[in-house]
Structure 1
């Protein structure tokens, strides 16, 4: 083994133990309080997880996509809201800065983000612009050496905690489509920036999503991230990475679901024997295990391909589509194994069942990912 492989094994093992010994026991507290406990946040900092993907020159771990996937799978053995607290800072919230930021922007933000001193948010979705992100209406107008932003964003993860927002706004005409969209870095506390109360959601206890409004937010020209008009292209590049990351989240929680279902099948007795002896139960376990292993292999190979510099738009879409859909089916089967007990809050399966439903929606709905996959296939065939 190389030194880097040995280091990765140590980090993966530490993440595995942290998830099982710290995160899983804290799930009840998160449910009761709606917040990630301070001792958990500190533990995430101690492991360096806020800086997983940030280059080591800025204080991060500088993990490759494959290495990131390995760690995320372990952390997401616990409910996925824990990952949400640091995930955006590692993904869409900082990838734009890493890939397209100026030296000054990198020096200003990346060290604080890597340490967990500051969190990042990604402000793309709008009330009338979700899957059709290129139709966003938030507007940035040039006034001398400044840009003035007006508009609204919806469902912005970690907005209530974020110290910096990557905001996408139209700098061209409405008819310019995706080519008229630019990205900006907006600091928390900038006049005109308002963060609404977090939504009450079906699942993901402890993860906060809020609307964010921009009313005459005035920024220096240096706040633009990347060249004017390249914001949408940069966002899509970040989303390719994020979709592989989210697929790894689905793989991690699928492992937890399988363990919960298997354990219950061993302990629960009916007709004088453990229900795991019944072939119908065995069929649900076997089908779920096969889907879990297939998703895990697909996600890890897609990560390797991206690390090798290959275009992975289709692979990222396939990974997130298959892994999140599989997680939904696995959750349904494992709850079915629990029977009536799976429907009550005493058992973790009830919460996990609700949590995984979101995975098929954000960072690209399953239907959008199907369209992307088919489009890439047809393009390669010459259509």
Structure 2
């Protein structure tokens, strides 16, 4: 299917890492509400945090297919919060520095990010501006050699324990909409930067999520990322890759849910037979497995097209609109086949059902994504 021997070796390495370093500890991280910093360092040591970044800064520049493999295998851990924290760092925030950053910005920030010494977040969403990015109100005003930023951000992953936020702020009039937004690189120890509240979530419990506030926060002019008032364009390019990664999440988590459920129904007996021997069970799992395979195929096909330089905005919108809906049906269908056991806290399928819910909202709600597909067909 598009994969080289290098890709296959990469998959094997990530899968071994997940089984050894993530699965045994994930429940403790869920209780703690955070992922140990050493996990970023371990992934950095393996070169897994730099696949989107150039070699001269410590990256491996492996491309979209490698990123999809990474997202899929992390998702097979069954811990959605872990997958979210790591891929926000690798694919949804720091990647903006590689795409539009200056050589000086790359040299200053990327080595620590790629090594896992600094954890990165993306700050776009606001309480009244989620899928409608053009409506953000956090404002940056130029003052001599600084930008002064005031405003708030909501639902920001890696914000509590992170070190750097790629921040979207309005540098033009509100009436300018998408044409008045810029990106900035903001260290979290900047005076005026505050974690207003750590948020408690329905799922993704081990990923830290916060509301941020900025009060007369000054950052140097050289921390403007990309062109002034061109941030919306950069964000949309980032969303394209994010939607591809969400396809990988759906493929990995969906496959894991099927795997766990197959093990369960082959062992569980009812009415003198295992559940697997009941035709309705076999057919339901066959249907769900087929839908996961279709999402996976579209995701990998789109990643290959992206690497070939082809436009993929339609395909990534399709992935984001369909993949999370399929995953929702899969994990809840699998939970149903687990019966009462699947409803108990501490079982992977119960956690996966909670975690999967967010993907229908984050990164563009399903309803918004369907409109994006409609524009392109």
Report the TM-score range of the alignment, normalised by the length of the smaller protein.
Answer: over 0.9
2 CA distance for matches of 1:88 and 1:310?
Answer: 24
Secondary structure of the residue that 2:163 maps to in structure 1? strand
Task: Spell out, residue by residue over 1:187-210, the C-alpha distance to the aligned partner (whole angstroms, 9 max, x if none).
Answer: 121111101332111111210110
RMSD over aligned CA atoms reads 1.7
Q: Tell me the distance in 1 between the aligned counterparts of 2:103 and 2:41.
A: 29
| Alignment correspondent of 2:14 | 15
**Superposed displacement of residue 372, structure 1:** 0.5
SS of the residue corresponding to residue 113 of structure 2 reads: helix
CA distance in 1, matches of 2:19, 2:71: 13
CA distance in structure 2 between the aligned counterparts of 1:148 and 1:360, rounded to whole angstroms:
35
1:315-334 → structure 2 map (5 Å cutoff): 315-334=315-334
Equivalent in the alignment of 1:310 = 310
Determine helix, strand or coil for the equivalent of 1:52: coil
Query: In the TM superposition, what is the alpha-carbon distance from 1:40 to its structure 2 partner?
Result: 4.0
Q: Normalising by the residue count of structure 2, what TM-score does the alignment of the two structures yield?
A: 0.96
Q: Which residue of 2 aligns with 1:76?
A: 75
Residues 73-120 of structure 1, C-alpha deviations (whole Å, 9 max, x = no match): 112101122222221121221121111111110001111110000111
Whole-Å separation in 2 of the counterparts to 1:246 and 1:140: 30
Asked if 1 retains the 8 angstrom alpha-carbon contact of 2:89 and 2:121, the reply is: yes
**CA deviation map 1:339-371 (0-9, x unaligned):** 111111142111111011111111111111101
- C-alpha distance 117-255 of structure 1, shift in aligned 2 (>3 A): same
SS across alignment from 1:91: helix
Closer/same/farther in 2, CA of residues 61 and 191 from structure 1, 3 Å limit: same
Q: Answer yes or no: is the 8 Å Cα contact 1:49–1:86 preserved in 2.
A: no
Alignment of 1:1-383 (within 5 A): 5-37=4-36, 40-78=39-77, 79-377=79-377
**281-290 vs 78-87, which deviates more?**
78-87
Measure the CA separation in 2 of the matches of 1:28 and 1:146. 44
8 Å Cα contact 1:18-1:75 kept in structure 2:
no
Structure 2 alignment gaps of length 5 or more: none
Deviation string, structure 1 residues 184-235 (Cα, Å, up to 9, x no partner): 1111211111013321111112101101111111122211111111001110
| Normalised TM-score (structure 1) | 0.94
Indicate how the Cα distance of structure 1 residues 91 and 371 shifts in structure 2: closer, same or farther if over 3 A, else same.
same
User: Deviation per CA, 1:227-284, whole angstroms, max 9, x where unpaired?
Assistant: 1110011101111011101110111111110011111110100111111111111121
Contact 2:131/2:363 (<8 A) preserved = no
Change beyond 3 A, Cα 1:31–1:222: closer
Indicate the SS of the match to 2:293. Answer: helix
CA distance in 2 between counterparts of 1:20 and 1:274 reads 28
- List alignment gaps of at least 5 residues for structure 1: 378-383
The equivalent of 1:380 in structure 2 is none
> How far is the alpha carbon of 1:375 from its aligned partner?
0.5
Q: Give the distance between the partners of 2:219 and 2:81, measured in 1 at CA.
A: 32
Task: Specify the SS of the correspondent of 1:184.
Answer: strand
